[in-house]
Amino acid sequence: MIILIALMVGRLRVNGLIMAGGKGRRIGDPLKFFRPLGDKTVIDVLIDDVKGLVDRIYVCGGKILHTHEWDDKVTVVETPGDGYVNDLGKCLRSNLTMPVLVLPADLFILDLGALHSFVRESLKGGDQVVSFLQDGELIGISLFKSAGYASDQLRYRNYHFSGRAFININTEEDYSSAVLTWKRREANQS
């Protein structure tokens, strides 16, 4: 399952691709992005967090996506779900305009400014793929400037970020942390 997001960064158009087709082995729930954070789901919170940056959002994935009530900026596109690598490659080789920002659907954003900085910095230079490392660990965020997908054909680099800008919900502990952070965020906005 994938969400495509058109994201404006400066004068350059960046398409977003949010991957949501994992197996959820570590947490035991392949649909973890539908878990609640207060009165919204994880994926709805992610969409709300980036909505001000987007033109249109496409949710691509299995038939289960048709059972969810989506925001009016979201369009569901059904895909066969051939696994992360195949789905990502297929999407990158489709008619997407490069560059493409890839995000996981089980991502909880703690610092939206970190995402902005990553995109701005990733657009600089000749690297075709830039991956976000949070405290030295890959968390599923990358920017592709080329539709070529084979890793041996692409110039890539890592963008190092010290600190915690995102929670990638892979465990029950990650999910609990996102829930608590969401509750604090909501309390501060009241």
Q: Give Cα 22 distance to the centre of its chain.
A: 12
Q: Which two tokens stand for residue 38?
A: 């207060």
**Range in 2-6, 69-73, 88-92 the model is least confident about:** 2-6
All domains of the chain in start order, with CATH = 2-189 (3.90.550.10)
Is pLDDT at 11 greater than 50 in this prediction? no
- Predicted confidence at residue 141, as pLDDT, reads 92
The per-residue pLDDT for 135 is 95
Model pLDDT, residue 4: 57
Q: Give the pLDDT mean for 93-100.
A: 76
Per-residue model confidence as pLDDT tens digits over 111-169: 999 988 998 899 898 899 999 999 999 999 998 888 765 556 778 899 999 999 999 99
The span from the CA of 154 to the CA of 37, in Å, is 37
The pair of three-digit structure tokens given for residue 43, joined into one six-digit string? 């994926």
Could you give the 3-state DSSP secondary structure of residue 19?
A: strand
